[in-house]
Amino acid sequence: MRPLFRREHVPELEECLYEARKQLRRYWAGTLACLPDSKTRNNRWNNSQTQYDLDCQRILYDCLSKISIRVTIYSEENTSAVTYGDIGDFYLLIDPLDGTHNAVLGFPAYTSSVALYHEGAYVFGWVYDFSRDLVYTAALGEGAYLQSSIIVKRLQTRKVNRMEDMRISFHRPKEDREKVIIEKLIWIASKVRVYSCSSLEICLIAAGVLDAFIDIDTPGHERSCDIAAAELILREAGGALFDRTGHSRLPLPPSPASLSDNGTLIALSSAKLIRLFL
């Protein structure tokens, strides 16, 4: 894999992340790809931090520590910011392992994501799909791409106009009112898929695999650290993010607040589709 973008300092960050991708892939092969031990599996999930999360964070920190630009990193798995480098004023918002419960259960849908923030905007997004060894990337104004070890492909969302033609994914709601809404969508949509990994599901919309990902449970489960990188990738591919009221859902800048701002989310392959959902 090689750097794709021209924006200042982004190619150096890409180089660090492609080294991280190699190490994360080795970690996947030696640890995450192994099916869980049924004798020790915990049947109750409490969203707790796991050793998997910490190991993936360590890999990312080790690779990012070699960067020359000054980056302040906010991570879902760390209560305090970490700073590396000494040139410039850049910020990273990372989720070392999105879909931890999937990883614990041995279900192959989990990612690692990194979003670069500079001068008031997210300018680069990177999402790594462990099990398929695929990297989704985007730079502001330069498009979104899918990379594997042998190909580079420009991403573009599908263009559909009817619910009946849509492929949707969703976060399972708990309240009766939201259950009724999701049940209607299930029977209207062309296809339904559930991955329980929001960053991956958003990237699959960017790739034209899905058309929508929906989390309308109150107050919602999606934090800025979950969606920042994927949001830029989707936007550069032609899609858009909204909350359940139809307002644009934009991730917060890297900060402690961006690690806990749970909210609803409707991710779509086209902004005009929000009218159908509302």
% residues pLDDT > 90 (the chain): 81
Cis, peptide link before residue 173, omega less than 30° from 0: no
CA distance 87 to 89: 7
Which token pair is 49?
């931090």
Report pLDDT for 39.
56
The reported pLDDT for the residue numbered 38 is 60
What's the CA gap between 33 and 197, in Å, rounded?
17
> Within 10 A of 82 (CB to CB), how many other CB atoms are there?
15
Q: Considering the entire predicted model, what is its pTM?
A: 0.94
pLDDT value of position 158: 95
Q: What is the pLDDT of residues 22-80, one digit of tens each?
A: 999 999 999 999 877 665 555 555 667 899 999 999 999 999 999 998 999 999 998 78
* Cβ contact 83:73 at 8 Å: yes
Spatial CB neighbours of 179, under 8 Å, sequence gap ≥ 6: 173
List, in order of start, the domains of the chain with CATH numbers: 10-154 (3.30.540.10), 163-277 (3.40.190.80)
Lowest mean pLDDT among 4-13, 45-54, 63-72, 90-99: 45-54
Q: SS3 of 64, please?
A: helix
Q: What pLDDT was estimated at residue 86?
A: 79
Indicate the pLDDT class of residue 233, thresholds 50, 70 and 90: very high
C-alpha count within 13 angstroms, C-beta hemisphere, residue 78: 22
3-12, 131-140, 174-183, range with the lowest pLDDT: 3-12
- pLDDT for position 210: 97
pLDDT at 259 over 80: yes
Q: Give, in order, the Cα–Cα distances in Å from 273 to each of 59, 116, 122, 173, 265.
A: 39, 28, 24, 21, 14
Using alpha carbons, list the distances in angstroms from residue 244 to 1, 202, 257, 275, 277: 37, 16, 20, 11, 9
Task: Please state the rounded mean pLDDT for residues 168-178.
Answer: 90
Angle at 152 between CA 66 and CA 30, to 5 degrees: 55
Helices (H), the chain: 10-27, 51-64, 100-105, 176-188, 198-206, 224-237, 274-277
Closest by alpha carbon to 27, among 71, 68, 59?
A: 59
Q: Quote the pLDDT of residue 212.
A: 96
Distance CA 240, CA 232 (A): 9
The arithmetic mean of pLDDT across residues 116-139, rounded, is 96
Determine how β-strand 69-75 pairs with β-strand 87-98: parallel
Residue 227 has pLDDT above 90, yes or no: yes
Is the confidence at residue 132, as pLDDT, over 60? yes
Mean pLDDT of the chain: 92
Exposure string (b/e) for 126-138, b if CB count within 10 Å is 16 or more? Answer: bbbbbbebbbbbb
Is residue 127 within 8 Å of residue 145, measured between CB atoms?
A: no
Record the tokens describing residue 87, joined without a space.
């040139």
* Amino acid at position 57, single letter: Q
State residue 78's pLDDT score: 86
Lowest mean pLDDT among 54-58, 59-63, 155-159, 177-181: 177-181
Distance CA(200)–CA(95), nearest Å, equals 12
Among candidates 173, 134, 169, 175, which has minimal Cα distance to 155? 134
pLDDT (0 to 100) of residue 46: 61
Q: What is the pLDDT of residue 48?
A: 74
Q: Are strands 212-215 and 167-170 parallel, antiparallel or unpaired?
A: parallel
